Every structure is written in structure tokens, then in C-alpha cells.
Amino acid sequence: MPTDAIVVGAGVVGAACAEALAAAGLSVTVLESRFAAGGATAAAMGHLVVMDDSEAQFALTRLSRDLWTRRAGEMPPGCEDERTGTLWIAATEDELALVGNKAAFYRERGVDVAELDGGALAREEPNLRPGLAGALLVPDDRVVYPPNAARWLLSRAAARGARLVEGAEVSAIHGRRVATRTGDLEAACVVNATGAAAPLLTPGLPVAPRKGHLVITDRYPGFCRRQLVELGYLRSAHGASNESVAFNLQPRATGQMLLGSSREFAGFDASIRPAIRARMVLRALEYAPALAALSAIRTWTGFRPATPDNLPLIGAWPETPGLFVATGHEGLGITTALGTARLVADAVLGRTSPIDPAPYRPTRAFPGAAHA
Amino acid sequence: MRESVRLTVDGRAVLAEAGVTVAAALWNAGVLGLRRSVGGEARGVLCAMGICYECRVGIDGVPHRRACMELVADGMVIGTGAAAPDVPRPASRVPERVSVEADVAVIGAGPAGVAAACRAAESGARTLLLDDAAASGGQIHRRLPGQPPPEAARSWLERLERSGAQRIAGATVAEARREGEGFVLLADCGGAALAVTARRVILATGARELFLPFPGWTLPGVLGAGGAQALAKGGASLAGRIAVVAGSGPLLLAVAAHLAKAGAEVALVAEQAPLGALAIFGSALALAPGKLLEAARYRAAFSDTPFRTGAWIAEARGTDRVERVVVEDGSGRFEIPCDLAAVAHGLVPNTELARLLGCGTESGAVRVEAQQETTVPGVFAAGETCGVAGIDVAIAEGEIAGLAAAGRDASAAPPLLRARARGRSLARRMARAFRPRAELRRLARPDTVVCRCEDARLASIAACGAAREAKLAARAGMGPCQGRVCAPALEFLFGWDSDTVRPPARPVPLGHLAREETT
Ligand SMILES: Cc1cc2nc3c(=O)[nH]c(=O)nc-3n(C[C@H](O)[C@H](O)[C@H](O)COP(=O)(O)OP(=O)(O)OC[C@H]3O[C@@H](n4cnc5c(N)ncnc54)[C@H](O)[C@@H]3O)c2cc1C
Ligand SMILES: Cc1cc2nc3c(=O)[nH]c(=O)nc-3n(C[C@H](O)[C@H](O)[C@H](O)COP(=O)(O)OP(=O)(O)OC[C@H]3O[C@@H](n4cnc5c(N)ncnc54)[C@H](O)[C@@H]3O)c2cc1C
């Protein structure tokens, strides 16, 4: 069967791209080496969050979060979509000053926020330790269950005629032709959406796996209501150090508490490292000591597809005509999947995008690539 | 009768016998539904040995305590179902952390672990014996602390006393890993963290029951077979209760005898295996006269009870607890009213810690070589974790492992090797005779809960292609029992291998994970 587009990889990014291309009327085939939504997408927290590290990061996360919000009503219950909001927590008065800057940044760009002082924060989240300086509340941020959100996107794509083939590993992409164990497949365009594995199929893509640990607890409904993130999170996420942790606590719709997060470059070694997990838990206990008594039931790791400038790689890969890439989403790929899909479909169809695609162009210069 | 303690259960004053388990006290007070499931169903005790996490209640302000493992105390406040607290009361103290070093750490104080600890300590190794339960003895000799051990266990437990091995009861081992030349274990000990550093580890974690889903199996009052026995051993009164014992394996007879002795009226024992298969097994038993005597003795204990082969429970019915079961025998169905259904289809080795350590497994059991060493040098395994073969094999393997872990050569002890070989070969025949029949695959309906922690139902699981996918998409195996109940059922129903084990292998207070000095 001839097909207009082949999407390689059925993580959340591939799923969203498949849906957007199918919605545009293309016939789409998704090739997934294992099973859908089993990669980084299965490991992620599913925080849909507007970020302010750079204008480009803001533009993509804001567009994407709003796209998720618009579709919230369509998602089946298994997606566990909830408008939890985010609390960016300032531990000290110095940090509280930064909350002011952050609030101004969001407000100027039309994102709803509220500033909380220490007392208001304590009332909002009584299980945080007393004495924290305050927080910035972003009330419209959300949480989903990523693997099922990705599956739902795939089902929407399928409803528009897209075909998902699981257990179909792509061994090479030769322009508009991809090679699999059962033979070659051709299409007018191919999208490499294989996450951290993308450079294996498209050599030269500056993507490296950045490992993260998560711990989940038994169900404690009401322990916290918002996604709680320390204000210094970006230092961990975007700092130069090879290894970092930050307080990041998420209330799941199930009542479970999901605790992150750590970052390290360790290749594709998925093993759990008790030492970095301990640092992560200790960090969390500094903010929410009551966590110590909750039953932890599982730890796992996942690989964020990281790039040197913390922005994803979205668009045509000119070296190979017909090839588009959509990877490098680091710790924001659940959020940015919908915006990415929009940019990919626009690039494929030659449409104008709602945001400037230039900052995400895969061939952009990477100044001072401090990347391992 | 022993002295009484005062409990508050869901705001109501309840008197309980001192020293019994919380699960037994609640059972005796007529409280069978202990928690509300994710989907709002009442759930009660299932395994009664600490692995299924179905009996979670709130105790003194802390949610998710296992009623089957906790003992009552005067003034205890218990909340069940919606009356259980959602979130723990803020801790009054930071959990302590205790570090212990040993030459040999033995996990599990059943017959295998006790024998291993004796042999290792007697050989001069500093030996530490850890068990989740409050008293040593394992599943077969399960008892309350302070109760004298049964006759059969006494000599080994006295020998353990003399051996110099250090025992820590109530220690739930949650993690195990290699660290430098040795191993590190992390356990929870009644809320305190215990870190063990050992040069050698012996895994003697035994087995749990195999539960296969059927409509109504989640009703309170439907327990495991060994589960019902363990509940009774924990102090539950069965006087006047009508019980049906069903499933498969020699354990059914032992359980029926035990329940009858505890005052229950056993209305039926239903063995799913056909008579023919059992006859072949019976002739194998003739080679092991001890076993035959044992079976005869059990049979005598409930000689008025109908015993049927080729029959199984197809459904349990009741509103908030089991009221009757539907039994099927291939030619028809009939109903039996009952207060208690004790159902299990044999045993499944507990291999989670072994798999965390990277030990190889085969047919669901830990692989060992002649000296009981696993594929990971320095890690030994003994007893049912290596395959279900009964107490004699467990003891022989424990002895071999204990000697070997202490650096002695067990091949100098031929009687041990012979006992092991005899028992293992009998076990293979037994496994064949009691293999669950294909009809049992068709009992669960599309809306039957298969993963009890998460209320994942058959239809949503059947839409997946592998255990890991069923976990991610349908939440099967995502809860606190971590698939211990549903993974073997999924293997039976769909032929799926269980997903990789992720630490902690048992739920443990998050604070315990906060201090790891090493890499
Ligand atoms: C610990 C952790 C927490 C996170 N938390 C969040 C969060 O809260 N919010 C957020 O927005 N993001 C979060 N992320 C980031 C998010 O998980 C990723 O950015 C996102 O999942 C990337 O999606 P993907 O589709 O690109 O990759 P993947 O999900 O990895 O999908 C790639 C797919 O391609 C397949 N594949 C690979 N090679 C081939 C081949 N040769 N042929 C065919 N198929 C192939 C893989 O099997 C896989 O299914 C987190 C990540 C981690 C690790
Ligand atoms: C529920 C049940 C009832 C049984 N009843 C009978 C009977 O009546 N008659 C009979 O002949 N046989 C019975 N058996 C079989 C009998 O247990 C075995 O034949 C044999 O005694 C097994 O010995 P073991 O030492 O290998 O394991 P077990 O006796 O099962 O001992 C294993 C021990 O390891 C502990 N453990 C497991 N995991 C951990 C952990 N992570 N941390 C700390 N401790 C841990 C457990 O608490 C347990 O005490 C029963 C088995 C089960 C499962």
C-alpha cells in the first residue's frame, strides 16, 4: 500500500506527528520497533508546563500546553488529564525576588499566574515544610499519563486512516525509503521521531540520552494538589554539570505521588543508581519532610533526548531530501509533542506556523556546544 | 483465652485477644472488608502472608499497613475502607537508620533459611537471618510471636538459638544489590531503615500461592488456601464457619485439615486435577512413604468432608462478602453456601530479590548449581525460591547453601545431596499432576478484575500483547504488590513473561531511600 508519510517511532512525538499529518489528509504509516509509547514516553512524569528559559522554549511550550488544554475534553479517562497547575517554589527571600521576575515574564506574554507569599503557600500545600518564602502559581499547567496520552493520539491518527505497525524496527532511512527487516517502504516524506535513538538513523543529529530517575508511591490522595517544582529546577535541567537533582513532585490522578527528578549523562545504562536517587529524595525531603513516611513502591529510569541548547530539533533535514526530524525534546517532550506535530505538519505541507520555527531548525548553529 | 486489648475500629470500640494479627482481630469482629479498591469494591485478606497488599488498613493514623503482618496493641486505632486515613499523620520522628555487617546474610526464616543460617553460623561465619514475619518458621510453621513453635520446627529453631546467628524479625527486605566485593540489602523494620552489608547472601524467600482469577474472587472471604490457614494461625476464629477449599495441590488437604481443626465446617474440598493424574502422582508418592502417611493423616482429619477431583470453583457470589460458590466439574455446576472460600492453584517461587540481584531464573525459579550458588557469584538460594519441592528439600538445600556460603564444601555431605535429588524429582512429578487445567483460563470474564491492586480488568489487559504493555496501558501490575498476584496469572492466561523487577521489591518508606552513602 503506498503511503504519503512514514513516521518512525511511536512515542508521544511520533504519535502526535502521525495525528497531525493524518489530520492534514495524508496517508500515514507509523513504524515502531517495539510497542507504542514504550520508550521515554513510558518513563515520563507527564507535566504539561509552560517554561521560561528562553523565548523559543516559552513559545513552543506555551503553544503546546494550550493545544493540550483545548483537547482536554476529548481525552479518555485513562489519560488521567488534570489541571493541577504548577507551583514554582522559592525557598528563600532571594529566590522570592526571582519569582517576581518570573511572574512579570509570564504576565507580559499573557500567561495567567499568581504570586504566593509564605503563608499563602503553606495554606495551599500544607505538606510543604514551614518557612518557605513563597511561590509562583501557574494555574493552567496540567498533568497527563503519558503512555495513554500517546496511545490516544495514535488512536486519533488511526481514526483518520493512519496505520501503526509495532515490532517494525527501521534499520536505515535512505531518503524517502526506509529499510525494515521485512523489506523497504517508500513515502513522499519520512519523519524520524525515534527520541534518544534518533542519531542512529540520522547520523549527525546532536542528541544524547540524559538519564532521569523517578520514584512513585502508593496512593495518598490529597498529599499535595499542585505539581510542586523548586524554583532552581532550571539550574538542574539546563546546568552544565554532568549530574544534578531537583525537587519535582507530582500528584497523580490516582492519588500516587510521583517524585523527580535527576539528570545525568550515562549513555543508555538504565540501571538504578541508589546514590543519585538518594540525593533526589533528600532534596525532596528538604521541601516536604512528610514525604519520608509515604510508601515508595517503585523506582525507574528513562532517557530524555537532550540537545546542546536545550531546544528540540524539528523540521527538514536537508542532507536527506524528504526526511524530517522531530526529536531532542529533553524533559519536555510530552508537553511539546503537540506543538512539534504542528510544526512538522506545517513544514511537510509548506504551511505557515503559528510560531517561528527557526529556533528549532535541526541545522541551526550550536554555539559553544558543551555537549558530551 | 489470653488477655484482651482494646481497639478502635472505624470509631467503634472492639475487644481483641492480645497478640493476634490485626487481620485476625478484624475477622473475629466480623469485619471482612478491609479496604476500598481503586474502583470502590470491598477487599479483604487474600494471601495473609504479607505479599498481596489487599488487607491494607490505616493503623494509628498511617495508611496502607498490612493487617495480616501487624499485631494488635492496646489502644490501637484502625481505619478500614473509607475510614482509613488518606495521608499519614505527620511523623513525630525522623525514621532511624541502622547499619549491620555480616559475613552471610540470609533472607527468609522458613525451613530453608533457618537451616542455612544454622549451618553458616556453625561454620564460623557471622550470620544474619532476616524475615518479614514476626516469628521464625516460614509459611509451614507460621505462628504468632511468643507461641511455642510446632514440634516439627522445634529442634531446628533451638539449634538456631545455639548457632550464634543473629535474627531480625519483622524485617522486610526491599532492595538487594552488589556493591564492591559484597552486597547491600535495604530493609524496613517497623518503620526504621536497616542497611545490611554482607559478603555473601542466601536467598530463602520461599513461595507464594498461585491465584487464578474467576468471577467473584475479589470478594472478602475468598482467600488463598494457605492464606486461610495463615489467617487462622494469626488468631482468626473459624468456629462454625462453613468453608470450601479448592484449587490444586497437596496443600489443599493440609489446609482443609487445619481449617477443620480450627472449628470450621469444611463443606467441600475440590481438586481441579483429574483423578487419573493424581493416581499417577499417588504411585510416585508410594516411593516416599512419609508423604503418603502425611496425606492419610490429613484425610483422616476431615473424613466426613466430600473430596472431589476434577472440580473447581467457577464463581464466587455475594454482595459485600462471599456467600456461596459455584463449583464446576466438567459435567455440571452446583452451588454451595459458605462463609469462606480457600482457593489456590499451587505455589509460585518468590524470585524478586534474586532478579534484582541479576540472578538467572528458569521456569520461574532461581537457577542454582550443585552448591546452591546462583548465576551471581556470592549469592546462594535455597528452598522454594528455587522451585516448589516441599520442606525436606528446603532444609537440605538450606544446609548446603549455608555450608557453601561459609566457604565449606557441601559435596562432603552425601545425605543432603540425596535428600535434595529425591525431593526435586518428586516435585517435578507433582507439578505435572497438579498442573492447572485449560478450563481455568476461561473462568474470568471481560469485566473480571485481574490486577487487584489497580482493578485492571481482563478485557483491557487482553487488548495488550505483553506484560509490560499491559502494565503501561492497563495498569496491570502497577500497584503495591508489584505484580506478585497478577503476573503469574497473566503468564497462565496469556503466556506472558513477567516484566522486569524494579526496586524497591517491597513497598518501603520513601525516607529509607534518602541515605545511600555509596554509588
Ligand atoms: C524521568 C523523565 C521525566 C520526564 N518528565 C516529563 C514531563 O513531566 N513533561 C514532559 O513534557 N516531558 C517529560 N519528559 C520528557 C519526555 O519523556 C520525552 O521528551 C518524550 O517522551 C520524548 O518522546 P519521543 O516520542 O521523542 O521519544 P520516545 O518516547 O522514546 O519514542 C521513541 C520511539 O521510537 C522507537 N524507536 C527507536 N528506534 C527505532 C527504530 N530504529 N525503528 C522504529 N522505532 C524506533 C522507540 O521504541 C520509541 O517507542 C521526561 C523524561 C524523563 C526521562
Ligand atoms: C501459604 C503457604 C502455606 C503452606 N502450608 C504448608 C503446610 O501446611 N504443609 C506443608 O507441608 N507445606 C506447606 N507449605 C509449603 C512449605 O512452605 C514449603 O514446603 C517449605 O517449607 C518452604 O520452605 P522455605 O524455607 O523455602 O520457604 P518459606 O517457608 O516460604 O519461608 C520463606 C520466608 O521468607 C520470608 N520472606 C520472603 N520474602 C522476604 C523479604 N523480601 N524480606 C524478608 N523476608 C522475606 C517469608 O516471610 C518467609 O518466612 C506452605 C506454603 C505456603 C506459601
pLDDT at A371: 45
Please answer yes or no on whether B511 and A218 come within 8 Å at the CB atom. Answer: no
Residue B514 grid cell: 534518602
pLDDT at B284: 58
pLDDT of B391 higher than 50:
yes
The x, y and z cell numbers of residue A292, run together, are 519520608
Dist. CA B420–CA B398, nearest whole Å: 10
pLDDT (tens digit per residue) in A41-80: 999 999 999 999 999 999 999 999 999 999 999 999 999 9
Q: What is the pLDDT of residue A68?
A: 98
Q: Which residue of A has its CA nearest to B468?
A: A38
Please indicate if any CB of chain A lies within 8 Å of the CB of B188: no
pLDDT greater at residue B93 or residue B76: B76
Please name the residue ranges forming H helices in chain A. Answer: 12-23, 40-43, 55-71, 93-108, 118-124, 146-159, 198-201, 233-238, 274-287, 333-349
Task: Report CA(A234)–ligand 1 centroid distance (Å).
Answer: 20
**Mean pLDDT (chain B, rounded):** 93
Between B90 and A254, the higher pLDDT residue = A254
- Mean pLDDT, range A96-110, rounded to an integer: 96
The region of weakest confidence among A133-147, B224-238, B263-277, B443-457 is B263-277
Domains of chain A: 3-47+146-207+309-360 (3.50.50.60), 84-140+208-305 (3.30.9.10)
User: pLDDT, tens digit, for every residue of B288-304?
Assistant: 556 655 666 666 666 77
Predicted local confidence at residue B431, as pLDDT: 86
Which residue bears the cell 509459611? B139
pLDDT at B424: 87
- Kindly give, in sequence order, each residue whose CB lies less than 8 Å from that of residue A220, ignoring residues fewer than 6 positions away: A255, A256, A257, A294, B63, B86, B87, B88
Tell whether the model's pLDDT for residue A81 goes beyond 60.
yes
Task: Tell me the torsion sign for CA atoms B409, B411, B416, B422.
Answer: positive
User: pLDDT per residue over B453-471, tens digit each?
Assistant: 999 999 999 999 999 999 9
Determine whether the shortest distance from the Cβ of A6 to ligand 1 is under 6 A: no
CA–CA dist B401, B112 (Å, integer): 9
B64: which chain A residues are within 8 Å (Cβ-Cβ)?
A: 218-219, 295
Averaged over A273-293, what is the pLDDT? 95
Alpha-carbon distance A92 to B37, whole Å? 41
Residue B89 is inside which H or E element, if any? none
Find the mean pLDDT for residues A309-334. Answer: 97
The verdict on the CB of residue B186 being under 6 Å from ligand 2 is no
Q: Is residue B499 pLDDT above 70, yes or no? A: yes
pLDDT in tens, A180-237: 999 999 999 999 999 999 999 999 999 999 999 999 999 999 999 999 999 987 776 7
Tell me: the pLDDT tens digits for B371-382?
999 999 999 999
User: Looking at the predicted structure, is the pLDDT value of residue B107 above 60?
Assistant: yes
Q: Is the pLDDT of residue B68 over 80?
A: yes
What percent of chain B lies above the pLDDT cut of 90?
84
Which chain A residues have a beta carbon less than 8 Å from that of B512? 296
Q: For residue range B113-140, list pLDDT tens digits in order.
A: 999 999 999 999 999 999 999 999 999 9
Contact B76, B60 (CB under 8 A): yes
B110 CA from centroid of ligand 2 (Å): 6
Closest in B38, B513, B519 to A281, CB measured: B513
User: How far A126 CA sits from the closest chain B CA (Å)?
Assistant: 11
Average pLDDT, chain A: 95
Q: Are the C-beta atoms of A290 and B86 separated by less than 8 Å?
A: no
pLDDT of residue A133: 97
Mean per-residue pLDDT, A283-293: 95
Percentage of chain B with pLDDT > 70?
93
Residue-level pLDDT at A60:
98
Residues B21-63 have pLDDT tens digits of: 999 999 999 999 999 999 999 999 999 999 999 999 999 999 9
User: How far is it, in rounded angstroms, from Cα A1 to Cα B339?
Assistant: 61
The Cα–Cα gap between A27 and A21 comes to: 8
Q: Can you give the pLDDT at residue B429?
A: 85
Q: Quick one: average pLDDT of B229-257? A: 96
**Which residues of chain B does A38 touch, with a Cβ-Cβ cutoff of 8 Å?**
468-469, 472
Q: What is the pLDDT of residue B426?
A: 85
Confidence of residue B519 (pLDDT cuts 50, 70, 90): very low
In this predicted model, what pLDDT tens digit does every residue of A114-171 receive, in sequence order?
999 999 999 999 999 999 999 999 999 999 999 999 999 999 999 999 999 999 999 9
